[in-house]
Amino acid sequence: MSTQSDSSPLVGRAPKKKPQIITRALMVFLGAMILANIGHQMNQQMMPLYVQSLGANVQQVGLFFTITSIMPLTFQILGGFISDSIGRLQAIAIGSIAGLIGYIMYVWAPSWQFMIVAQSIASVASCFVSPSFQAYVAEQSSEEMRARTFATVDSIYTVVGVIGPTLGGLISQRFGYRQMFAVSALLYAGAAVIRFAMAANARRNSSSRVGSASGAPPERPTMAKLVQNMKAMVSLLLAGGVITWLFIADGVSDIAFTLGGRLEPLYYGNIIGMSNLQIGSLLSILNVTMMVMLPLGGWFADKAGERAGIAIGHLFFSTGYMLMLLSKRYAQFTVVWVLYGIGASLLSPAYNSLISKAVPEKMRGTAYGLFSTSLGLISLPAPYIGGLMWRTLGPRAPFMVPLVSSLVLAPLLWIKLGSARGKAGASASEVGGGGTPGQHLVPLEDEPAGADA
């Protein structure tokens, strides 16, 4: 009798599956993202130099990036909402069409003004891909391993930043910018084919599950549903909790980093005298650092709490900018970009994990889209202002702003994110739209239990 009693819990019960950091479906999804973004990373550092080679001065380069930020602001929330409604993979496939058109226009651009149109169209891709990517990663992870999953995905994904920038710098230096964009376009086209196939397969699987216990048909995106989601997100933003302070901090950071971020390659090339290959290699150094450090950053956020990763990450960025302003040789700038990489490895999984926990699952795409749109609106004139600061105050002036902002944000977020825990729980229960109050939010300091294109 005792034997039967001892063994009965095992009868007819499958062994409990251990949560995976990264699933097979997520790995396939990530493979397509990597192929697409090797092409994207090839031209990221070279874009300001290409625009300059087409006749733009430094101030006009800043204006170029300010104008081309308008188009994604128009579609960012819509892209996230469509992702929530019809599915992540389907939304990514839609965005890839715009990306393909933009790449073709890059190759044939006759002037920097024409590049404004090309960049605006290509940037629509990120409006659909970026919120879908982050939401898909969250859905493929368990809550207790959320930051580690984001970190592992980001770590694998950073291979695009190791290969892309150096390859882009090498091709542009030896063969020219147009040839570099042609290679990027071919890589992106290959990734788009894979994405279309994945979306079609997901649609077939969704149709086969309709009416069964394992699935339901996608929701039809309607204006009423979009308004409902937006009202819920605005409530979270104004609640004074975690989402409020993440939004404020991201807004300040976006303005600060955008002031000089687009001009940094010009600073390295025009002021320091680096070659295209050296400029591209700096981004590769950043990504090698992130590849190594991101798993540690995710583990740190899961164990020590997201606010610790966010605060310490900002300190690494401020140290990096301080060293950048003092550096004059290429070897010194490699250290700067290692510091950037460590800072990003701490910030990225902590931010993504915290947002995904503080927002209901059915609104994650809208949330990431709203964050990107709102922050983009706030920082819209920043590249142009950075160009004005360069011309009037000197080429180092735009880079003083992110140094100071990171120094201020580190202690502020440590204090405010800690005190926002209670408010976050209340606001999440109000916005959840049903279910157990607070079920969509894990406390900030919970005990152990981020593409672009």
3-state secondary structure 386-445: HHHHHHHHCCCHHHHHHHHHHHHHHHHHHHHHHHCHHHHHHHHHHHCCCCCCCCCCCCCC
* Rounded (10°) CA dihedral 53, 59, 61, 65: -170
Up-side HSE of residue 173: CA atoms within 13 Å toward CB?
17
In a domain, 450, yes or no: no
Residue 212: per-residue pLDDT: 41
| Cα–Cα distance measured from residue 121 to residue 69, given in angstroms and rounded to the nearest whole number | 11
In a domain, 334, yes or no: yes
| Cα–Cα distance measured from residue 251 to residue 413, given in angstroms and rounded to the nearest whole number | 13
Residue 5: per-residue pLDDT: 43
With helix as H, strand as E and coil as C, how does 342-396 read? HHHHHHHHHHHHHHHHHCCHHHHHHHHHHHHHHHHHHCCCHHHHHHHHHHHHCCC
- Structural domain harbouring 55: 21-207+219-431
In a domain, 2, yes or no: no
Up-side HSE of residue 407: CA atoms within 13 Å toward CB?
10
In a domain, 15, yes or no: no
- Its pTM stands at 0.61
Per-residue tens of pLDDT for the chain, all 453 residues:
444 444 444 444 444 556 667 777 788 788 888 988 898 888 877 888 899 999 998 888 888 988 887 887 777 777 778 888 888 888 888 889 999 999 999 998 999 999 999 999 998 888 888 878 877 887 777 777 777 888 888 778 878 877 888 888 889 889 999 999 999 999 999 889 888 888 888 777 766 654 443 344 556 666 777 777 777 777 767 776 777 888 788 788 888 888 887 788 889 988 999 988 888 888 888 888 988 898 888 889 888 888 889 999 999 999 999 999 999 999 999 999 999 999 999 988 888 778 777 777 667 666 766 666 665 666 778 888 888 999 899 999 999 999 999 999 999 888 888 754 444 443 443 333 333 222 222 222 222 223 456
- Given a contact cutoff of 8 angstroms between Cβ atoms, the answer to whether 236 and 432 are in contact is no
Cβ atoms < 10 Å from Cβ of 208: 11
Q: Give the domain CATH number at 178.
A: 1.20.1250.20
Tell me how many domains the chain contains: 1
In a domain, 446, yes or no: no
In a domain, 416, yes or no: yes
> For 312-351, b where at least 16 C-beta lie within 10 A, e where not — what string?
bbbbbbbbbbbbbeeeeebeebbebbbbbbbbbbbbbbbb
Burial class (CB in 10 A: 0-12, 13-18, 19+), 236: buried
Residue 213: per-residue pLDDT: 38
In a domain, 448, yes or no: no
In a domain, 151, yes or no: yes
Residue 441: per-residue pLDDT: 24
Please list, in sequence order, all residues whose beta carbon lies within 8 angstroms of the beta carbon of residue 358, skipping any fewer than 6 positions away.
Answer: 236, 241, 242, 243, 246, 424, 428, 440, 441
